A and B are shown apart, each in its own frame.
Chain A
Amino acid sequence: MMDRDKLSVLAISDSGFIFDPVTGHSYTANATGLKILELLKAGKEEDEIKSAIMDEFEASDDEVTVDIQDFVENLKKYFLV
């Protein structure tokens, strides 16, 4: 389960720099991470995120699935979702 409310307050710049105005923490995401984050923030479901990433980055289903799971785990670790 993800709490996406926290994502709504994040300031995300095109460079991949992310600032959390509630905690003052900042993070950097790569292009793939940034895309996943934007899609999560837009309320997209995991399947929609997966196909969007596969289209944009020409990666296999397995790779993308693992990358998304990995990224979401990191977001949880940092209490961002």
Chain B
Amino acid sequence: MKITVAVSGINTIDNPGPGAGICRALKESGMEIRAIGLAYDALEPGIYLDHIIDKSYIMPYPSGSKEAFIERIRDIHEKENLDVIISALDAELPIYMDIEPVLVEMGIKMLIPTKEMFRLRDKLKLKELSEKIGVKAPEYISCTSLSDLHKATEKLGFPCMVKGPFYEAFKATSPGEAEGYFIKIAAAWGYPIIAQKFIQGDEYDVIGCGDGKGNDMGVFAIRKMTITKLGKVWNAVSIRNERLIEATKKVVSGLKWRGGFEFEVLMENKTQDIYVLEINPRFPAWVYFPAGCGINLPARMVKLLTGQEFETHSDYKSGKLMIRYTNELVKDISDFEQISTYGESGEVKK
């Protein structure tokens, strides 16, 4: 049975989207998958990754008209007969949440969070989230001015973390340093800026998928070994930490999480206590790593959505290493012409 899956986030750039990893995991799942890339720009590298993405289409921006977005999907669906869409970008999740009933009518299935889950995962709702899932959150204060920052750091003390609304976090050891980071982050990412209590520990990530009924479909934990300037994982090692796995399962059962997610936590060195930092409401860019270790979450998601049996175990080995690398492709300008002129790539010649 051939299954056609459309996947977004195929921007495998220096701040990589998860789409290419999702497609690779699906292609290696043993299912007969036709992978369709949904791109927002003609130069998203996934469009040109013929070995894992069969065809790509340009989408209208999710911030635009809902009708135009639906019409584009309808148009792609007429050509491709889509079975599943896996949304892999935070920015487009709200529109998919809105239009999911329309997609269901069209015969397209998705496993995405509800609006309430999406609201709770906001960095500024960390306290509320922490109470819901029973996992500690570091004390934090949201700031929209330097005066707010001063008050916050007086309360939190130094060192403290100064974090952006989307990306970047710095450890500040003095009021002057905190002010500098505040201005730098605000200029790059806007407000609010979050001042957060510093906890001596390491950051860990767990990927998982929830069926929306409180059951987890498998989880996989890593320690970030190196990160990019934006805090994205570059190299990682798989770990087996039962407290972390337990905390992740609380996310799934406590929120009845629906869809893929990345649970970002900090583990205090001294006490090994776990603090929730963030939940990303979709698969992370390193989604292929667990798939390569036997926890193929995109495949499990597709199997659930298409009524097939799927595994739910989280049996994997610790000490597996993920090395991310950069690479170059040589393509023809006609490939760029095709996608930029017609809004869709040419069919891959097998």
| Chain B residues near A (Cβ < 8 Å) | 202, 204, 222-223, 225, 237-241, 267, 269-270, 272, 318-319
B239 touches A23 (CB 8 A): yes
Known A24-B239, A79-B270; 10 more pairs at CB < 8 Å: A11-B319, A21-B240, A21-B318, A23-B202, A23-B241, A23-B267, A24-B202, A24-B222, A24-B238, A25-B202
Closest to B271 in A: A79
10 nearest A-B pairs in the assembled complex, by CB-CB distance? A24-B223, A21-B318, A24-B239, A24-B237, A22-B241, A21-B240, A19-B319, A79-B269, A21-B239, A21-B319
**Residues of B close to A19: CB separation below 8 A:** 318-319
Closest to B202 in A: A23
A5 to B266, CA, bound (A): 22
B240 touches A25 (CB 8 A): no
**Residues of B close to A79: CB separation below 8 A:** 269-270, 272
**Provided the pairs A79-B269, A79-B270 are in contact, do residues A22 and B319 lie with their beta carbons within 8 angstroms?**
no
**Residues of A close to B318: CB separation below 8 A:** 19, 21, 24
* Shortest beta-carbon distance from A74 to chain B in Å: 14
* Shortest beta-carbon distance from B312 to chain A in Å: 22
Closest to B225 in A: A24
A21 to B240, CA, bound (A): 6
**Residues of B close to A22: CB separation below 8 A:** 239-241
* Shortest beta-carbon distance from A40 to chain B in Å: 20
* Shortest beta-carbon distance from A33 to chain B in Å: 20
* Shortest beta-carbon distance from A10 to chain B in Å: 11
A25 to B159, CA, bound (A): 24
Q: List 8 A-B contacts (CB under 8 A).
A: A21-B240, A21-B319, A22-B240, A22-B241, A24-B223, A25-B202, A25-B223, A26-B237
A32 to B143, CA, bound (A): 52
A26 to B235, CA, bound (A): 14
Closest to A22 in B: B241
* Shortest beta-carbon distance from B246 to chain A in Å: 13
**Residues of A close to B204: CB separation below 8 A:** 24
A26 to B241, CA, bound (A): 15
**Residues of B close to A25: CB separation below 8 A:** 202, 223
**Residues of B close to A23: CB separation below 8 A:** 202, 223, 239, 241, 267
* Shortest beta-carbon distance from A80 to chain B in Å: 11
* Shortest beta-carbon distance from B269 to chain A in Å: 6
A1-12 vs B, CB cutoff 8 Å, 1 = contact: the mask equals 000000000010
**Residues of A close to B222: CB separation below 8 A:** 24
**Residues of A close to B237: CB separation below 8 A:** 24, 26
A19 to B321, CA, bound (A): 12
**Residues of B close to A24: CB separation below 8 A:** 202, 204, 222-223, 225, 237-239, 318
**Residues of A close to B223: CB separation below 8 A:** 23-25
**Residues of A close to B240: CB separation below 8 A:** 21-22
Closest to B317 in A: A21
A77 to B319, CA, bound (A): 22
A79 to B271, CA, bound (A): 9
A50 to B225, CA, bound (A): 35
**Residues of A close to B319: CB separation below 8 A:** 11, 19, 21
A1-57 interface (Cβ within 8 A of B): 11, 19, 21-26
Closest to B244 in A: A22
* Shortest beta-carbon distance from A64 to chain B in Å: 29
* Shortest beta-carbon distance from A2 to chain B in Å: 15
